[in-house]
Amino acid sequence: MLKFTPILLLGLYLAAMWFFSAWRLKHELNEKATPLRHPRLTPMLERLGRAMDLPPIEAHIYEVEPINGLAAPDGRIFLTRGFIRKLDACEVTAEELASVIAHELGHVSLGHSRRRMIDFAGQNAIRLALSGVLGRFLPGIGAWIANAVATAVAARLSRQDEFEADRFASALMIKAGLGTGPQKSLFHKLDRLTGNRGTAPAWFLSHPPTARRIAAIEAHEARWRDG
C-alpha cells in the first residue's frame, strides 16, 4: 500500500488544483462579467440560435481589455471588452465577432472547456514527474526541460481543440447564412489586433498559425461542397 502513496498524493494534488482553478476562474468571471447587450450583436446571437434550433445565444462581456473570446467550464460564452471596443471602432464587424462566438460555442459543445481544466492538471503532473526524474541526472536544467515538455504537450492538445472548434464554427456560420468569410477575415486581423508577433517556437503555440487555420476551413468547405 505504501508504494502507491505517492501516486495517491499526486492524484489528490491534481484534483485540488483542478477544483481551485475552476473556482478561481468562475469567481473572476462572476466579478468582471456583464450580459452582452449590443445592437449590432443581438441579431447575430439570434441567427446563431436559430441555426441551432435554440433561442438567441446568451453571451457575456468579460470586462478586461485584452482581445479574446472565452468559453467557461460552466458553458458560458464571453467576449472581452477589448473586442467590443474594436467593434465600436469599426475595426472588426459584427459578423466577425459572431464567428468568435460560434467558435466558443464549438469549445462548449465539444467538451473542450472542461477538458482544458483537466489538461491543466495533467500538464502539472507531467512537469512534476519529469522534474523529479530529470533533476537526478540533470541538476539545474532538469526542471527547465520538464517545463518545456509539459508546455509543448499542452500546446499540442490546445491546437487540436482550436481546429475542432474552427470546424464547428464554420458549419454553424454557414447554417446561419453568414458564411465563413467573417471567420477567415478575422483571422487575418487577429495578429495585428492582439499584438502577436509570432516569435514563439511553433511547438509552444497554443493556437495554430493563421494560414493553417484558414487552409483547414477552406478544405472543410471543399469537402462539404463536393459531398
pLDDT number for residue 194: 76
Q: What is the pLDDT of residues 48-94, one digit of tens each?
A: 999 999 999 999 999 999 999 999 888 999 999 999 999 999 999 99
Q: Would the pLDDT of 203 be above 50?
A: no
Task: State pLDDT tens for residues 130-146.
Answer: 565 555 655 666 555 55
H-type alpha helices, 62-196: 81-88, 94-109, 112-137, 142-175, 181-194
Q: Is the pLDDT of residue 16 over 70?
A: no
pLDDT of residue 215: 95
| Three-class secondary structure of residue 38 per DSSP | coil
**155 — pLDDT class (breaks 50, 70, 90):** low
Q: How many CB atoms lie within 10 A of CB 78?
A: 24
- Is the pLDDT at 176 greater than 80? The verdict is yes
The owner of cell 475552476 is: 22
Work out the percent of the chain whose per-residue pLDDT is above 90.
49
All three cell numbers of 162, joined, read 482550436
**pLDDT at residue number 64:** 94
- Name the band, by pLDDT with cuts 50, 70 and 90, for residue 107: very high
pLDDT at res. 158: 73
In the chain, where the domains are located:
10-226
The pTM of the full predicted model, rounded to 2 decimals, is 0.77
- Of the listed ranges 10-19, 39-48, 76-85, 153-162, the one predicted with least confidence: 10-19
163 grid coordinates: 481546429
Half-sphere exposure of 139 (CA within 13 A, CB side): 1
